[in-house]
Amino acid sequence: MKTLEQLRREIDAIDDRILECLNRRAELAIEVGRIKAEEKRDFHAPGRERQIYERLTAGNPGPFPSEAVRGVFREIISASLSLEAPMKVAFLGPKATFTHLASMQHFGLSAELVPQKSIPAVFEEVEKGRAFYGVVPVENSTEGMVSHTLDMFMESDLKINAEVLLEVSHDLLSRTGRLEDVKKVYSHPQAIAQCRKWLDDNLPGVPVVDVASTALAAQIVGEDYTAAAIASEFAATLYDLKVVRKRIEDQVNNFTRFLVIGRKMSEPSGDDKTSLMFSVKDEPGILHRMLEPFAKRGVNLSKIESRPLKKKAWEYIFFLDLNGHITDPLVAEAVQELKNYCQFVKTLGSYPRAK
């Protein structure tokens, strides 16, 4: 049986080999970046990244956890991409919001993540080339769609390049960490709505104040010993707060969906989703005919959402998510037929489906 010291020496030797391999991988990444620059190709390929994760997790024999494999290689790929070209990503800020967490989850810690004050500002940064990608929230599993994001797609030609699903867990944070000290609670209106029952049961009569973000709530509470914030555990670390209670959201399995937006359409990955926006002609039976092109070709629709047109009363824009890439023959045929019933059809993007 090996001694503790022998096992540690073996681990050190393995770590040395890992470091050697990481540096060799970095050298190859730099060479890939040079070739991409010469051929004027995009340095970031979301589909290729997805294939790496899936190949490694599928071939992982254990006992190292497969989810940890994905996390480790996300950071390796993030660092490698930073050697090919600087990866600047705009996100709906400030720091420590759930959009910030989604950006880190997707791009890793080596990307340059730049907070923006609004969803239109994120779109503008990408449109003007000041950021390569943007990250914005689009949907929450309990609170529904984020209307500001949908509205921006009516005006913007940016494409959806990826989606990120993030489990949203709300903690109650304060300077002291004691529930009895809380005389006021700050948070974003959506976070407050998701924790309403817990607040009523545990802090009845305590004023609850809406602010622009969960991160701003944490900033405010950092200077007030009688207040608490509903925010993420990451916000507690960033703003030096203590956790009063963990996971105070009323519903379990509370997820928010985020979109990664860029200037070009993503290549097929083999497991994609396509998002469309369209306006139909107002006539009897139009909704049935609108869905028929997809039904008869067996194209699965995962979501349909309507938004009123601001310029015309009682007319609507529809947003549709379907399984498949816009270049897939059946999807392309269905979309072409859909155009016969629409005033316009716009492909918002085809991108790898989030797991």
Active-site annotation holder among 256, 274, 278, 294: 256
Q: What is the CATH number of the domain that holds 64?
A: 1.20.59.10
Does 232 share its domain with 288? Answer: no
For the entire predicted model, the pTM comes to 0.77
Q: Is residue 136 part of a domain?
A: yes
Does 292 share its domain with 318? Answer: yes
Does 335 share its domain with 284? Answer: yes
Angle 16-20-21 from CA coordinates, rounded to 5°: 120
Q: State pLDDT tens for residues 95-140.
A: 888 899 899 888 887 788 999 989 999 999 999 989 989 999 998 7
Supply the angle between the helices 66-84 and 46-58 in degrees, to the nearest 10: 150
Residue 279 belongs to domain spanning: 272-352
Q: State pLDDT tens for residues 77-98.
A: 777 777 766 788 999 988 888 8
Q: Which pLDDT score is estimated for 268?
A: 87
Q: Is residue 248 part of a domain?
A: no
Does 221 share its domain with 292? Answer: no
Query: Considering Cα of 137, then 143, then 148, then 152, what sign does the dihedral take?
Result: positive
Q: What is the CATH number of the domain that holds 237?
A: 3.40.190.10
- Is position 258 annotated as part of the catalytic site? yes
Mean pLDDT, rounded, for 27-50:
74
Residue 187 pLDDT grade (very low, low, confident, very high; cuts 50, 70, 90):
very high
Mean pLDDT for the chain? Answer: 86
Distance CA 223, CA 225 (A): 7
Q: Is residue 173 part of a domain?
A: no
Domain boundary among 77, 104, 138: 77
Which residue has tokens 């269905």? Answer: 334
Strand-pairing partners, residue 12, are none
Does 62 share its domain with 115? Answer: no
Percent of the chain with pLDDT over 90: 36
Mean pLDDT, rounded, for 37-59:
75
CA max distance for the chain: 80
Q: Is residue 293 part of a domain?
A: yes
Percent of the chain with pLDDT over 70: 93
Q: Which pLDDT score is estimated for 142?
A: 66
Residues 6+ apart with CB under 8 A from 134: 89, 90, 91, 116, 122, 123, 125, 126, 158, 260, 261, 262
Q: Is residue 314 part of a domain?
A: yes
Does 150 share its domain with 214? Answer: no
Does 239 share its domain with 298? Answer: no
Mean pLDDT, rounded, for 187-198:
91
Q: Is residue 203 part of a domain?
A: yes
Q: State pLDDT tens for residues 262-291.
A: 998 888 888 899 999 988 766 777 778 888
Does 161 share its domain with 224? Answer: no
Q: Is residue 98 part of a domain?
A: yes
Does 53 share its domain with 123? Answer: no
Q: What is the CATH number of the domain that holds 311?
A: 3.30.70.260
Backbone phi, then psi, for 102, in 5-degree steps?
-65, -40
Does 152 share its domain with 184? Answer: no
Active-site annotation holder among 123, 258, 278, 319: 258
Domain boundary among 213, 229, 262: 262
Does 209 share its domain with 163? Answer: no
Q: Is residue 250 part of a domain?
A: no
Does 37 share its domain with 96? Answer: no
Structurally, how many domains does the chain consist of? 4
Residue 254 has pLDDT above 70, yes or no: yes
